[in-house]
């Protein structure tokens, strides 16, 4: 920073949519959702902040030695960032707009405290950064990731005070969203890249990896930890530098269905391997996004049209894949469309409101006979959904309603 975990006494510690707050009202249930829809209209995107806090506490309970850096990209709603900020979370950002969402929470700090907080609490985890971004970040001396020769030269010229973290490519087998084809240095190149960074007057403080989003193959983590341990040892043996930050990324799975193993099982494996492979002064970071926000949000939408096509009931609702259901496209997650109405069900199609046939939510929803004006809902829709909403066809994203802030 020129800084390093060795030469400093301190360590890095472990628009457009209306937003409506609601008092503390307990857990989300059908009655509550109907009341909120009656009050605020539809579609509404309901964020339960108490559930968010519960998820954070659960993560910390199972991985007590791992500092949480919330992946803002999973859901960049400023109020989510604010809630996590208040309970001690750090933040993983991947763009300057995300950085500024976090910055809004600390702008009233004295300048020296603000810079120290950013240095200690933010990692810019996009390995490719525009020059303008590097220049804006440099004064805060944050952690930034890199994975190639050209990025070393950009950081040297435009953010020489940053602390570097080398991202390596690791197995993503079985993960819902594969990431290693786009990001990460080959492990065989890691030591040479770290040496090159030091040769250019930079300080490499850490190593990072990502096993892929919604990782249900826990062996990915085990292999990544072993690769990291080997690289860290070789760095010390070959170039005499110590790496004392390990960022184990995200990928922590959400139980979208009962077949997905719990974080308790993964945490037990991680804790044992980290203890076995790394020295006690290694600082362990993680970037959970989906795990913290996926089950905190529920969408309520309204049936605005109805038809029968090839003998199948078809319903058109006022939210779709260009909006909150975008996670079905970008995140490869299906969100069941559920009825408030009871009755005998039949296989039905559900479409979004736009004029594009691509705006198809499902062709196989189990729904009773619905009428225009009836409401439906989808649960566990908090990650990589509303964050990707557009205004396609002029339809705005769902109104955000906050509960239990």
CA-nearest of 105, 47, 58 to 296 is: 47
Q: How far apart are CA 299 and CA 45, in angstroms?
A: 5
Q: Which residues pair with 44 in a beta bridge?
A: 300, 399
- Burial zone of 279 (CB within 10 Å; 0-12 exposed, 13-18 middle, 19+ buried): exposed
Backbone angles phi, psi at 173, to 5 degrees: -60, 125
Tell me the two tokens of residue 76.
Answer: 């960049």
The full 3-state SS of the chain, as one line of letters, equals CCCCCCCCCCCCCCCCCCEEEECCCCCCCHHHHHHHHHHHCCCEEEEEHHHHHHHHHHHHHHCCCEEEEEEHHHCCCHHHHHHHHHCCCEEEECCHHHHHHHHCCCCCCCHHHHHHHHHHHEEECCCCCCHHHHHHHHHHCCEEEECCHHHHHHHHHHCCCCEEEEEECCCCCCEEECCCCCCCECHHHHHHHHHHHHHCCCEEEEEECCCCEEECCCHHHHHHHHHHHHHHHHHHHHHCCCCCEEECCCCCCCCCCCCCCCHHHHHHHHHHHHHHHCCCCCEEEECCCHHHHHHHEEEEEEEEEEEEECCEEEEEECCCCCCHHHHHHHCCCCCCCEECCCCCCEEEEEECCCCCCCCEEEEEEEECCCCCCCEEEECCCCCCCHHHCCCHHHCCCCEEEEECC
Whole-number Cα distances in Å, 247 to 69, 71, 133, 240: 9, 12, 22, 21
CA-nearest of 401, 226, 141 to 297 is: 401
Respond yes or no: is residue 355 known to be catalytic. Answer: yes
**Which of 215, 297, 314, 355 is an active site residue?**
355
Active site residues: 355
């Amino acid at each position: 920073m020129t800084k390093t975990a060795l030469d400093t006494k301190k360590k890095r510690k472990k628009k457009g949519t209306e937003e409506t707050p609601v008092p503390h009202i307990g857990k989300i249930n059908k009655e509550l959702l109907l009341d909120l829809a009656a009050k605020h209209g539809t579609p509404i995107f309901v964020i339960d902040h108490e559930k968010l806090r519960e998820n954070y506490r659960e993560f910390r309970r199972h991985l007590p030695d791992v500092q949480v850096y919330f992946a803002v990209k999973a859901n960049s709603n400023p109020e989510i960032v604010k809630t996590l900020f208040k309970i001690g979370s750090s933040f993983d950002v991947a763009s300057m707009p995300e950085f500024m969402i976090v910055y809004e929470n600390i702008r009233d700090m004295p300048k020296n405290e603000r810079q120290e907080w950013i240095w200690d609490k933010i990692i810019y985890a996009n390995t490719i950064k525009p020059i303008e971004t590097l220049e804006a970040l440099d004064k805060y001396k944050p952690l930034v990731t890199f994975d190639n020769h050209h990025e070393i030269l950009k950081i040297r010229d435009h953010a020489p005070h940053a602390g570097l973290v080398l991202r390596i490519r690791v197995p993503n087998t079985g993960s819902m969203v594969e990431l290693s084809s786009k990001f990460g240095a080959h492990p065989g190149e890691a030591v040479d890249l770290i040496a090159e960074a030091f040769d250019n007057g930079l300080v490499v403080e850490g190593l990072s990896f990502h096993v892929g989003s919604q990782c249900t193959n826990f062996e990915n983590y085990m292999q990544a930890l072993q690769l990291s341990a080997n690289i860290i040892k070789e760095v010390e043996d070959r170039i005499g530098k110590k790496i004392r930050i390990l960022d184990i990324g995200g990928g922590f799975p959400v139980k979208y269905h009962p077949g997905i193993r719990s974080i308790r099982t993964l945490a037990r494996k991680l804790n044992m391997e980290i203890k076995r492979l790394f020295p006690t002064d290694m600082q362990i970071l993680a970037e959970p996004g989906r795990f913290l926000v996926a089950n905190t949000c529920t969408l309520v939408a309204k049936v605005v049209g109805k038809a029968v096509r090839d003998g199948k009931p078809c319903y058109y609702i006022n939210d779709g894949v260009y909006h909150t259901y975008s996670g079905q496209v970008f995140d490869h997650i299906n969100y069941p469309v559920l009825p408030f109405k009871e009755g005998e069900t039949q296989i039905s199609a559900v479409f979004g409101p736009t004029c594009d046939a691509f705006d198809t939510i499902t062709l196989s929803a189990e729904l009773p006979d619905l009428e225009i004006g009836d409401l439906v809902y989808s649960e566990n829709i908090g990650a990589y959904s509303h964050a990707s909403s557009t205004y396609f066809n002029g339809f705005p994203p769902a109104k955000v309603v906050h509960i239990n802030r």
